[in-house]
Every structure is written in C-alpha cells, then in structure tokens.
Structure 1
Amino acid sequence: MNTQQINLLSTLFNESLDAILILDLKTQKFILYNQTALDLYNYSEEEIKQITPKDLTLEFMTNEEMGERQKNIVEKGWDKFTTKHKTKDGKALDVLIKSKKIELNQETPLLYITIINLGKEQKLEQEFETIFYSSKDGIATIDLDGNFIKFNDSFKQLSEYTYNELINIPTFQLFPQASKEKIQELINQVIKEKYIENFEATFITKYGKSMIIYITMNLMPNQKEILLIIKNFTLLKLIELEKKFKSLNELIQNISHQWKQPLSTISIIASGIKLQRELNLYDISNLDNDMSKIVEITNYLSNIINNFDDMAFETFGKAYSICQLISEILHEMKKNFEKNHIKIITNYKVDNKIYIDKFKFSEAIKNILNNSIEAFIETNVENRVIIIKTESINNHLNLKIQDNAGGIDEKILSKIIEPYFTTKHQSQGTGLGLTNTYKTIVEMHKYLLSFDNSEMLFENKNYKSLNVTITF
C-alpha cells in the first residue's frame, strides 16, 4: 500500500461520522480511535487508552462472558448486535455494534469496531416524522412500483381521497392518462439518479379537479422507498405576487425611459418660447402650434401613467387577443403616426390569445414601433409604411412588424439589443428601448424575438426594410 492510499484510509478513519475503535484483544486496550469516538464517550485521548470494553458496556457481563463474546467474533470473523453503552459521566447510550476481526500479524489479533449511536438515529427519525406530518406540502412515501406506503394530511386533503381509498390506489391514478408514462419515467430516473426537483405536472383529485403541481422526489436511504413531495402551484401565486412587487422598480425605470424624451421636448419648446420672447423674436402666430405640441406630449405622458395604473398589479398570465392588443396600441399611437406621415397596414391571418403581462408587453411593442418612427425621421424616407401581420408557422403564432425605413447596417444588426447601444447621437437616445423590449419578450415571457433585413415592395417600389418577428 503506497503513502497516498495510507493517507486516504487515515482520512476516512478520522473523518467518519460513526465512532470507530480498534481493540487489541491481548491487552484489551483500544490502540486506535477517531474523534467521533472520543466525542461520543466523552473521553480524552489519554483516558480512552486506559479503559477496556468492559468499562464501556452497561450490560451485566463477567470478564469470562466478555471474553466468550470476543472469541465468537474472532471465530466467525464478524458480528453485529445492539447493546447499551455508557459515557465517561455515566450517560446511557443505545448503540449498534459492528465488529470485524483484522490481523496485521498473526501474533496481534485486533477487532475493528464501529459504534452507531441509535439515540441519534432515533432523534433524526423523529425529526423527519415531525416534518413529514406537519408540512403544508403534500408528502408521501411510495414503493418503487408507485404504491403508497404513507402520506401526510396535506397530501390526503389535496387528493380529496380518504385514507383507505388513497392507500389502496397507485400513484399513477392521480395523474391524467397522458402523464402516467412520464411519472413512471420519473420514478425510474429517481432510482438511477437519487433525486429530481420541481417537475411540473397536472394532478387529478378524486372529484376530477385538475391543478398544476411541482413534484420533487428523493430515493430514501433504504433504496426501497421514494419520498414524494408535491407543491400546489396556486400556493406559489403568493411568491409570484412578491416577485411582481419587486418588478415595480423595473416598471418605474421603464416609465422614466418613456418620459425622458417627451419631457425634454417640452423643455426645449418652453425654453425656446421664453428665450425668443426675451429677445423680442418670438412670432406669436406660432403659439397655438407650440401649445398643441405640448398638450399632445402631455397626453402621451398621461396615457403612460394610466396604463401603469391599469396594468401594474394585473395578474401575470392573463390571456389577451394579440390582434385586439395591437389594435389598441395603434389607436393610442395614431397621432404620432399621422404626424410623421406613416401609413399602417395590418394583415391578421390568425388571432390567438397569448399569456402576457399586458402593460410590459404593450410597452415592448411600442418600443419597436417608436424605433421605426425614429428610423423614418433619421433616413427621411418618403411613402412611409409599417406593415403588421400575424400568421401561423409550424403551429406557432408569429407577429411580424416590418417598416420600409431602410433597415439596419448588417455590421451592427446583432448589437441593437445590447444595453446603451444606439445609432443616434448620444443626446438623442439612451440605447435602452430595444434592450428592454428583449428583456420583456424573451427573458420575462420566454417568447422568441428576432431582427432581420429584407426587401419590401410598396406602391411599385422596392425598399430596404427591417423585420421584427415575435414567435409565441
């Protein structure tokens, strides 16, 4: 045995969670011991060297009876039994003893003794039972064939079965037919990998109620049982609500971004009027037009706040018609399109309902449309058009927004969703619009978002265009 192997064995011996003693049968002294043994019996190293096995046992045994027991272990080669031991201060211990004969040489027979504190094991078992039966989550143990062994009240109440009914049905009966094979696969996976966590499934109660649950399974130490934990998804709604409150900060940041440029425009108009009046240069005939611009912008800002009030606390996951949602957004932005001479063409081939946070998702679509408006202003394209259409591709709903503003340079196309990246002058944009759009559509809602350049034929003329596609 090389040095590395010796060091490894020494580490395993000293770090074992079980107490280990090595007894010299001739001298009846313990020649080796680990720290767990010292802690268990409350002896120091010097003290444990001076005691014998007789000093540890609480059984009434003579020296002859102790010798006979040790002789039987040597002849058999090993033994296992439960008994009572005592610590240095007389505290009683229920222990399991595992003894094995080892021979480093024929003249010095040794016993390798492992002591397991059954009191500690019983305490752990009691703690487990307390958690098992008091948990608000549904907890059960099942055998490897999926039959119930025991379950807590929360599991029984969730299933709506009585105790006698539930104990006599297989686990698979609590799931729809289409999921039964998957549950069997999960059991096989747990047997192999010992553990799975938060698998989403549909749970069917005795009276046919369906609910979405999360399943966690653990293979028990005896390798014959599986601990099954189910969480009712409706209970997790409270957690989702907490997350929604945390997201309010992000919503406020989005509003701040939406307000920044309009407020800047109001400030420029007002400052311009004030300066020109001080210099006696202001043309009073422009006053109505300037005031109309300010009123238009303040209405836009007011709409943002109204949307925030309506949607900020709305339950995430409510289904909305995609076509109706787009129509509402276009109606809200109508004046802005007319002001910039942009024609809107819609082509709705399908109209599915989508599960979204309406406020955030609407702001993401507005960011895309405002990006097109800014592109038209920058490129000064005539015959401006934005085409919005829905279609079904490979059983997925696609929403496509296409403008003829000239597309985006291919060299920077991949960078447009990066934070603070902007093609405008630094004073004109923060570069966060499409970044926030990506976060909302992809990271928050888990839908797909893509950008690509293409050609568009509009009124018998070809234009370079940018396509924005959302796949649900």
Structure 2
Amino acid sequence: MNIQQQTLLSTLFNESLDAILVLDLKTQKFILFNQKALELYNYTKEEFKEITPKDLTLEFLTPEEMKKRQKNILEKGWDRFKTKHKTKDGKALDVLIKSKRIELNVESILLYITVINLGKEQKIEQEFETIFYSSKDGIATIDLDGKFIRFNDSFKQLSEYSYNELINIPVFDLFHQENKEKIKELLPQVIKKKYIENFETTFITKYEKSMITYITMNLMPNQKEILLIIKDFTLLKLIDLEKKFKSLNELIQNISHQWKQPLSTISIIASGIKLQNELKLYDVSNLDNDMSKIVEITNYLSNIINNFDDMAFENLEKSYSLCQLMNEILHDMKNLLNKNHIKIITDYKIDNKVYIDKFRFSEAIKNILNNSIEAFIEKNIDNRIILIKTENIDNHITLKIQDNAGGVDEDILPKILEPYFTTKHQSQGTGLGLTNSYKIIVEMHKYLFSFDNCHIKFDNEEYKGFIVSITF
C-alpha cells in the first residue's frame, strides 16, 4: 500500500460519522479507535487504550460468554446485532454493532467494529416525524412507481381527497394533463440525482381546483421511497399579479400626465393656425416652424408608447449601472440637446448598480433635463451647459444634474414641488415637472431628492444655475 492509499484510509477512518474500533482479540484491547468513538463513550485516548469490550457493555456477560460471542464472530467472519452499551459516566446507549474479522497474520486476529448510535438515529427519526406531520406544506412519501405510501394532513387537505381515495391513486393523477408525463420523467432523475428542487407545475384537486405549486422530491435513504413536498404558491402568484396590475395602473397614470401637456400644446398650435387663417392674419412663413413643433411633440408621444411596450411590467427588483443608464438617457435625448446647442459634461467618479423601475426613472431624469432645456430657451442663454456627475457621499452614490441657466428666483424656489405649481418654461414644456420627478424618485423608489440654486464653473467662467441631487 502506497502513502497516498494509507492517507486515504486514515482519512476515511477518522472522518467516519460512526464510531469505529479495532479490537485485538488476544489482548482484548482496542488498538485503534476514531474520534467518534471517543465522543460516543466519553473517554480520553489514554483511557480508551486501557479498557476492554466488557467495560463498554451493559449486558451481564461472563468472560466465558464474551469469548463465546467473539468465537462465533471468528467462525462466521462477521456479525451484526443490537445491544446496550454504556459511556464512561454510566449513561446507557442503544447501539447497533457490526463486526468483521481481520487477519493480518496468524498471530494477530483483529475485529473491525462499527458502532451505530441508535438513540441518535431514533431522535432524527422522531424529528422527521414531527416535521412530516406538523408541516403546513403538503408532504408525502411515494414508491418508485409513484404510488402513495403515506402523507400528512396538509397534503390531504390540499388534494381534497379522503385518505382511502388518495392512497389508491397514483401521484400523477394530481397534476394537470400536460404535466403528468413530465412528473413521470422526473422520477428516474430523482433516483439518479437524489433530488429535484422547486419544479413549478399545476396541481389539480379532487374537485378540479387548479393551483400553482412548486414540488421538491428527494430520494429517501432506503432507496425505495421518494419524499415529495408540495408548496402552494397560488396566493403568492395572485399577489404578484396584483402588484403588476397596480404597477401598470400607475404607469398608465404617469403616461396620461405626460400626454396632457403635449396634446394641449398641439391643440394650441392647431387652434391658433385655424383662428388666424380664418381672420386672414396667419403668416404662412410660420407654417414650417409650427408643423415642425407638432411633429416634434408627436415623436415624443410615440417614444413614450414605445417605452411603454418595452417596460410595462418593469419592477424594482432589477438593478442597473447608474452611469450606463445616464448615457442611454443622454443618447435618447441627443437630437434635442444638439438642436438646442447644449453641451453635456459628464464626470462619473463612481458607478454602482441601483434598483429602479427603468422606464419611470428614465422619465424622471428626462424631465429634469427638459426643465433645464426650457430654462435655456426661456432665458435665451448663449453658452448652454449641463453637468452630470456622480459622487460618493457617506458611502452612498449621489447623482447631480446642474445647469447654467441662471437658477430659479429665490421666492419661487420653495414652491417648486407644490402641486400644479409651474413656471413659464414648465407650462410650455412636455415633461412631468419636478413634482412628478420627486414622486417617482422619493415616493416610488424611496431615494433622496433635493434641489437648489448653484454656481457652476466652466472654462474659467462661473455661472449661476440650478442643481438636482438624487442620493441612492
């Protein structure tokens, strides 16, 4: 035997979950024992070397009877029996003894003994029984052909069958027709892989009630039974669906808000053209500009619908790179920004993934940018700059969007988030306004939202502007 094999055997011996002893029949002393044996009988290594099999047994055996039992093992070559042993402090143990004769040479005959603590196994079995019968999940054991062996009350209640009905039908009959064959295919996989976890299927009760369930199957230690656990997720699915419909309803409301002002703008332009034309006052040279404005607004509305198709069921469980998302938003607004001669400067000092509803968060950011664009137009700013940067503030990533559009009058600043409050440039715009941006960021996403006047430096020039900060 080489060193590698010796190391392997030594590892198996010492790491066994059962107590293992090697007894020298001539001296009646244990020449080898593993750590589990010391733990089971509560002896030290030195103490265990001095004891004999008689010191471990609780049975009343004379030395002659002990020799007779050992002789039977030698003649048979092995033995297996239940008995009672005792620990160093006299505690009784119900054990299963497995013995096998080992003959290294003529003068040295040994017994290789495995001691299984039945008390521990019984405790595990009792714990299993408690879990089996008290669980609120449906639990059953089936044979390898899918026939029921036993099941708990939760399983019976879930199926709506009586005990006699359930014990006489195969497990496959409890699933939707399209799932029956799949369940049959899973049984060989369970035997091969030992378990199948969280397989989603439709469970059918006696009274044709359908429910969405997850089933888990485990091969039992006896290799003849499969433990089947069924969890009813119907209610959770309904709650999830309800959340999605609520989310969809909120999304539709937001789209409705976004459509009102653009549609109003189109109506004002069209009504103005019609009225001026009737009064012979319309300047035809303005027609191209008016039509371009209408086309621009309709494209904006179309973009909202396209985003709606893609993001209708977006939720807050998805995370996105903040800097990547900002770049996507800037790309979407590229034509509008270029048309209005706005220079975008990005300064990303940190990037983290943030959990957001991508569609609504993007609309909030676009609205903030639109407010700056409209301020530039209203105030006829020449050198137009929007600075977007991320910073690490108190271990939180903060997004800052600031412009050099002159800021907001200090008297107006505290009123910006009041419902229905608008400035001139906001009433002409197409965004939600800072109020709705605030609602999306704070009320929906639970992030921090703040704004103020600021000063921005660019090309050695200092400008007054407006800043919005979002802290994640």
- When normalised by structure 1's length, the TM-score is 0.58
Match runs of 1:244-283 below 5 Å: none
Contact 1:318–1:356 (8 Å) recurs in 2: no
> Aligned-residue CA RMSD in angstroms?
4.2
> How much does 1:58 deviate?
1.8
- Equivalent position to 2:262, from 310, 334, 337: 334
Q: Structure 1 333/105 Cα, relative in aligned 2: closer, same or farther at 3 Å?
A: farther
Match in the other structure for 1:101: 101
- Equivalent position to 2:335, from 376, 380, 402: 376
Contact 1:317–1:355 (8 Å) recurs in 2: no
Contact 1:141–1:148 (8 Å) recurs in 2: yes
Deviations 1:37-67 (A, max 9, x none): 1111122222222221122112222222211
- Equivalent position to 1:356, from 303, 310, 313: 313
Match in the other structure for 1:87: 87
Task: Report whether the alignment pairs 1:344 with 2:298.
Answer: yes
2:63 and 2:317 map into 1 onto residues whose CA distance is 83
1:114 and 1:89 map into 2 onto residues whose CA distance is 21
Q: Structure 1 179/360 Cα, relative in aligned 2: closer, same or farther at 3 Å?
A: closer
SS at match of 1:427: strand
2:236 and 2:310 map into 1 onto residues whose CA distance is 24
1:359 and 1:335 map into 2 onto residues whose CA distance is 30
> How much does 1:87 deviate?
1.4
Q: Structure 1 168/38 Cα, relative in aligned 2: closer, same or farther at 3 Å?
A: same
SS at match of 1:315: helix
**Which has the larger displacement, 74-83 or 111-120?**
74-83
Contact 1:19–1:114 (8 Å) recurs in 2: yes
- Give the number of equivalent residue pairs: 317
Contact 2:176–2:202 (8 Å) recurs in 1: yes
Match in the other structure for 1:316: 244
> How much does 1:25 deviate?
0.6
Give percent identity, aligned residues only.
66
Q: Structure 1 132/360 Cα, relative in aligned 2: closer, same or farther at 3 Å?
A: closer
One-letter identity of the residue aligned with 2:262: K
Q: Structure 1 141/70 Cα, relative in aligned 2: closer, same or farther at 3 Å?
A: same
Match in the other structure for 1:301: none
Match in the other structure for 1:195: 195
Deviations 1:390-440 (A, max 9, x none): xxxxxxxxxxxxxxxxxxxxxxxxxxxxxxxxxx9761688999xxxxxxx
One-letter identity of the residue aligned with 1:377: L
- When normalised by structure 2's length, the TM-score is 0.58
Match in the other structure for 1:73: 73
1:202 and 1:167 map into 2 onto residues whose CA distance is 20
2:57 and 2:206 map into 1 onto residues whose CA distance is 55
Match in the other structure for 2:20: 20
> How much does 1:141 deviate?
0.9
Q: Structure 1 239/107 Cα, relative in aligned 2: closer, same or farther at 3 Å?
A: farther
2:77 and 2:59 map into 1 onto residues whose CA distance is 23
> How much does 1:91 deviate?
1.4
SS at match of 2:387: coil
Q: Structure 1 225/373 Cα, relative in aligned 2: closer, same or farther at 3 Å?
A: closer
Contact 1:215–1:231 (8 Å) recurs in 2: yes
Match runs of 1:306-455 below 5 Å: 315-316=243-244, 328=256, 331-332=259-260, 334-335=262-263, 338=266, 341=294, 342=296, 344=298, 356=313, 374-380=333-339, 427=387
Contact 1:212–1:233 (8 Å) recurs in 2: yes
Match in the other structure for 2:8: 8
Contact 1:318–1:357 (8 Å) recurs in 2: no
SS at match of 2:146: coil
1:239 and 1:97 map into 2 onto residues whose CA distance is 55
**Structure 2: gaps spanning 5 or more residues:** 270-292, 319-325, 341-383, 391-398, 402-472
Larger radius of gyration: 2
Deviations 1:330-376 (A, max 9, x none): 6346359859541537799xx99998368999xxxxx9998687233
> How much does 1:326 deviate?
11
